[in-house]
Structure 1
Amino acid sequence: MLNLKVGGVPEHFNYPWYITLKNKEYTKHNINLRWQDFPGGTGAMCKALRAGDIDIAIVLTEGIIKDIIEGNPSKITQTFVKTPLVWGIHVGAKSKFEKIDDLENATVAISRYGSGSHLMAIVNAHNNGWDIQKLKFKVVGNLQGGINALTNGDADYFMWEHFTTKPLVDNGTFRRLGDCPTPWPCFVVAVRDEVLENNFNEVKKVLDIINNCTADFKEIKSIDETLATRYEQQLEDIREWLSITEWNDGLPVSEELITEIQNKMISFNVIEKSEDSGKLIRNMYI
């Protein structure tokens, strides 16, 4: 049996993986797939891919593109969630800041450099016409680190997925000053080159299984109630999230899409120059 390790954030986007693992769908094809939570997000997963600690990662598009350009020996095999991710812009409950404009010279908490919270802070700054070179960052590791930093005054604002942090807004830990959606599909599947080289068919089978699950995910009986309970969310928030979220429909990721995203990332000063998009992806369906 082939051992494969897959990593992702412990959030509602990845519940289809839980379902397919619980149903032992990979085992039926002689694949021992093991899941690892990465509360630290994309930056932590990029590091784990580089180290060979995981074989497959469900990562933020902007983060893995930047890391592959910088030498991560992995390829993007497909989009996982094709709709944008909505990043909430949060301050602490007792913060003096009242609106996004107030944050121009403030310190932003990020999970780590190269993470979504880091790169989207740059996108947000660009959107607001701020000088990106003057952004100040405080590395906090994960969501709990962001909570601590904003509560203790070690940082001024923190960007994290809107619905994941909604309970913290509801209970008064955070105040949300606004949102910043990603200008591209938010999650992709990245696989280490070595694994693609040696186990291409098995990886394709894994993707076929998860794509089959996500295709019907919204039709699963009482899925909204299941997600609300598991992720401690209000039912109306989960229903809103489901209404704006679309998973991959089985189509391969195109060079044109990756080129378009790279061009946007250059305009946001997230990357300095683009790479041949064909070198960043591996089409599983040729």
Structure 2
Amino acid sequence: MIPECLRNCPAPAKLNLFLHVIGRRQDGYHLLETVFQLIDFCDYLHFTCRNDHLIKRVTSSEQIPEEDDLAIRAAKLLQKEIFRQKGIPVRGVDIEIEKNIPLGGGLGGGSSDAATTLMALNHLWNGGFETKDLISMGVQLGADVPFFLVGQNAFGTGIGDKLTPVNTPDGWFVVIKPPVAVPTALIFRSNELTRNTEPIKMANFPDFCKKINHFGRNDLQVVAMKLFPEIRKAVNELSQFGNARMTGSGACVFCRFASETEARKVATRLSSRWNTQVVKGLQNHPLKYLLDNMGE
């Protein structure tokens, strides 16, 4: 029997352990190389079937209009694809979002919400789509959505949508959220952004795992720090304790630690001045792992 609802579906955030810009396509999109790292800092989504065909967000948000919410857009896209490919009209759904991941932080919260929506509703609506099918839908919503649908840490190339699973070392992270929201387009449009970092060879990845705290850099960070002094302050302060760097296009800054105890000591020292989180690295997306292993 298909359930009438799915509750407490996690949408985990991500960190970019490094982010290199290696070129630019003719259509203006940038060519990237990065390693995506899942962390246990999550939004939670709750889905309840309706008796009509409407898709509604039942939580309000002053920051994102309902029609622009990636979770709503993902649900509408999946509903449309189920009907187009299978000829099956599906009932609508109410979507409740417990929003913990900050907007404009480079943590991928909106993209993760969209991926969780596609995975959960594919199950709730008995859509029957495989991961590769959901990825084809996800890329229409945002460049980071495919990563969350793959469901494990990955080396990303292209515009971040070509993904090779990788195992990253276990660890804990202190994440600082400076009091700014960074528009991604503003960073990528900057004339000061370098776009010629030397591409990485996959054969180098054993070195990446050994030198994870110092491997690569975030090419967007220099631009973001110039535009947003708060990011520069966060990087400088967290750098006292390790190799701090920005994730995505900002604004969040992180540093990796070997133990939870060490991470919490640093976070405590910084908490009077900064919005800090202590998070653990994950190897797998918790919802995808659960759905993939149901019935085993």
| Fold shared by both chains (TM-score > 0.5) | no
Q: TM-score scaled by structure 1? A: 0.28
How does the TM-score come out when normalised to structure 2?
Answer: 0.28
More helix by proportion, 1 or 2?
1
